[in-house]
Amino acid sequence: MNFLDNLFKSKQARTSSFNRWPGLINAYRDYLNIDSETEIISLCEGNTPLILSPAIAKACGVPGLKVYIKFEGANPSGSFKDRGMTMAVTKAIASGLRIMICASTGNTSAAAAAYTACARSLGYHDAKCVVLVPDGYIALGKLAQAIIYGSQVIQVAGNFDQALNIVRELADKHPIALVNSVNPDRIEGQKTAAFEVCDQLNGFAPNILCIPVGNAGNISAYWAGFKQYYNFGVSKTKPRMFGFQAAGAAPIVLGKPVENPETIATAIRIGNPASWHMAEAAVKESNGLIDSVTDEEIIEAYKLIHSAQGICCEPASAASVAGLIKVSRQGKIDPEATIVCVLTGHGLKDPQTAIDSSQFSPIKTEASMDSVARALNL
Ligand SMILES: *Cc1c(COP(=O)(O)O)cnc(C)c1O
């Protein structure tokens, strides 16, 4: 066989496996509340990588520990919010609604805006997206996404919790689809992340799932997904759920709402989580835990994930890893355990934190090989 034949064969093999992923609703239709005639609004989200991370295992002080990253930054708009949004926008459009509304710390608005644009591409020209963001507390990349995907951005002089109350009221009074995670379709779509983790671990859940907690929809969705996969006999085990809040925005840990939540991890800067009780149930039923991590611990983990592992995530995502490092240093982790940390969103959304958290000082030289070589002591 000559070289070209070989090339052709491997290309065929590649394209047949590469092009197969149909988006998460089509992939997991049998496990989701969706009927067969519904037109799916999808950007082929899901199927995100599960990456083994020796660097995190080492930072935990347990070098042999199997720690995996579920890298949700690989979704089309750069966060796990796409999982819930494909479902929420699909259902809203199917029920005749054309205006999507949400309050957002950034990623929900990016995802809502993207899937509304996707709906327009399928002929729903009057589909519109309105996003309410807390003024001044949203990473620039996320704001840029909401704008360029064509949504109407409203900055409210208040925090996320206030913005959420406003959109809930608006959606009650008008024919508008509320696409925050209080919408059960969001949780339904987000369950698929748990399905994927079990599929990627060959039919087993990890022993522990570590996840950042903000409005607490995602931890609730993962737990619902793990339980469902277990009850259907697809997964042989269920995990313990370990949720982590930022210390300045840790209402569930403190047992009471936080009026003025503060943290560098803006995506989890939430003082009164909408899915509080579901999150507590997930932790209790799974014999898990909920704890908080300081901004210093978050930034330490954030830098480690980038420089020691080569994965780009946003600060809120790093709370899962910071939490794992914290509890493993307290001796709470079995060295034989398999652990998955969810990295919820992509780091490129928040370049300012990347620059601010590192002592960035480029070496300046003349534009000649000699000066560069000298600067490098070569
Ligand atoms: C939304 C979000 C979270 C928090 O998820 P909840 O479902 O609100 O608990 C964490 N990280 C990122 C990057 C997010 O966008």
- pLDDT per residue, tens digit, the chain (378 aa), is 455 555 556 666 555 555 689 999 999 999 999 999 999 999 999 999 999 999 999 999 998 899 999 999 999 999 999 999 999 999 999 999 999 999 998 999 999 999 999 999 999 999 999 999 988 778 889 999 999 999 999 999 998 889 999 999 999 999 999 999 899 999 999 999 999 999 999 999 999 999 999 999 999 999 999 999 999 999 999 999 999 999 999 999 999 999 999 999 999 999 999 999 999 999 999 999 999 999 999 999 999 999 999 999 999 999 999 999 999 999 999 999 999 999 999 999 999 999 999 877 889 999 999 999 999 999
Sheet bearing 66-71, strands edge to edge? 50-52, 66-71, 338-343, 208-212, 240-246, 289-293
Q: Answer whether 316 contacts ligand 1 (Cβ < 6 A).
A: yes
Beta strands, E only, the chain: 50-52, 66-71, 99-103, 128-134, 152-156, 177-178, 208-212, 240-246, 289-293, 338-343
In this structure, which residue's CA is closest to atom 2 in ligand 1? 267
- Classify 100 as helix, strand or coil: strand
- How far does residue 73's CA lie from ligand 1's centre (Å)? 12
Q: Answer whether 181 contacts ligand 1 (Cβ < 6 A).
A: yes
CA 228, CA 92: separation in Å to the nearest integer? 24
- How far does residue 329's CA lie from ligand 1's centre (Å)? 25
Neighbours of 36 (CB within 10 A): 5
In this structure, which residue's CA is closest to atom 14 in ligand 1? 267
CA 167 to chain centre: 22
20's CB contacts (< 8 A; 6+ apart) are: none
Q: Which residue has the tokens 């042999």?
A: 64
> Which tokens is 94 given?
């199917």
Q: Answer whether 112 contacts ligand 1 (Cβ < 6 A).
A: no
Average pLDDT, the chain: 94
In eight-state DSSP terms, residue 181 is T
In eight-state DSSP terms, residue 60 is T
Q: Using one digit for the tens of pLDDT, what is the confidence trace for 337-375?
A: 999 999 999 999 999 999 999 877 889 999 999 999 999
Closest to 19 measured CA to CA, from 38, 50, 51, 47? 47
Q: What is the DSSP string of 310-350?
A: ---B-HHHHHHHHHHHHHHHTT-S-TT-EEEEEE-BBGGG-
Q: Using one digit for the tens of pLDDT, what is the confidence trace for 232-264?
A: 999 999 999 999 999 999 999 999 999 999 999
Q: Answer whether 59 contacts ligand 1 (Cβ < 6 A).
A: no
Q: Answer whether 84 contacts ligand 1 (Cβ < 6 A).
A: no
